[in-house]
């Protein structure tokens, strides 16, 4: 089976480092910091959208979006994994799935290089045959193209997308791919509001779902 994973809110809890980067940007504009719960609500559509939402929240002018996105990206690239944590059971699940012959890929809206930096930091890169970042193609999730691109790179066969959010659920739906929802990530609504084939709370459950 071809199994493609989201990154933020699925394999890793990255909001602490994303919050720190956003707050570096805001401090440079003379603004106070945002708490992690607020930043969590802004996550899901890539770094530019995260910055756009943070700017709107504090009243910064949208004309500064490109500049402040770059400031935030540079702050994040400086410390992409200082506070980030891998969710329990992730590495064991990836190792078992790969050992069982499944082909694994990653499809994230995080820019490619920071995504790889985070995975390298935690030793996760070895499990993936393809990594599609938010800047790898001209479009991002929930456009289905990044997910489909990852699946093509993994060859033929049944497919599954594993994610945590409304964005991921919509991506899978639009791509015509079965969706497994990790319920402990960054979704904004109840589990039943997201279309999914499977739902799981701990990665030890994933191996049983895939078979």
Residues of CATH 3.40.50.1000 domain(s) within the chain? 2-13+85-210
> What is the pLDDT, as a whole number, of residue 127?
98
Q: For domain 2-13+85-210, which CATH number applies: 3.40.50.1000, 1.10.3720.10, 3.40.50.300, 1.10.150.130?
A: 3.40.50.1000
> What is the pLDDT, as a whole number, of residue 62?
96
> What is the pLDDT, as a whole number, of residue 210?
87
Residue with tokens 């933020």: 8
SS3 39: helix
Residues of CATH 1.10.150.240 domain(s) within the chain? 15-78
Q: Which of 6, 164, 168, 178 is catalytic?
A: 6
> What is the pLDDT, as a whole number, of residue 190?
97
> What is the pLDDT, as a whole number, of residue 211?
67
Residues of the chain short of pLDDT 70, as ranges, are 211
SS3 25: helix
> What is the pLDDT, as a whole number, of residue 46?
84
**Greatest extent of the chain over all pairs of C-alpha atoms, in Å:** 53
Does an H or E element contain 147, and which? helix 145-153
> What is the pLDDT, as a whole number, of residue 160?
98
Q: Which CATH architecture has domain 15-78?
A: Orthogonal Bundle (1.10)
> What is the pLDDT, as a whole number, of residue 207?
84
pTM greater than 0.85? yes
Reported residue count of the chain is 211
Q: Is 6 a catalytic residue?
A: yes
Contact criterion met (CB below 8 Å) for 203 and 93: yes
């Amino acid at each position: 089976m071809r199994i493609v994973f989201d990154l933020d809110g699925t394999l890793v809890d990255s909001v602490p480092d994303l919050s720190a980067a956003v707050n570096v940007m805001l401090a440079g504009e003379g603004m106070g910091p945002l708490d992690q719960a607020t930043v969590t609500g802004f996550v899901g559509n890539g770094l530019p959208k995260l910055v756009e939402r943070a700017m709107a929240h504090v009243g910064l002018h949208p004309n500064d979006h490109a500049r402040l996105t770059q400031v935030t990206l540079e702050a994040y690239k400086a410390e992409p994994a200082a506070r980030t944590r891998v969710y329990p059971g992730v590495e064991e699940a990836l190792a078992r799935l790969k050992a069982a012959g499944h082909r694994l890929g990653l499809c994230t809206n995080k820019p490619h290089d920071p995504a790889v930096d985070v995975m390298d930091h935690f030793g996760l890169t070895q499990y993936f045959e393809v990594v599609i970042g938010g800047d790898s193609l001209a479009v991002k999730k929930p456009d289905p193209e990044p997910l489909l691109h990852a699946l093509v790179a993994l060859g033929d066969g049944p497919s599954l997308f594993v994610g945590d959010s409304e964005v991921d659920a919509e991506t899978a739906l639009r791509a015509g791919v079965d969706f497994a929802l990790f319920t402990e990530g960054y979704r904004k609504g109840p589990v039943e509001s997201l279309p999914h084939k499977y739902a799981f709370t701990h990665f030890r459950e994933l191996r049983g779902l895939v078979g």
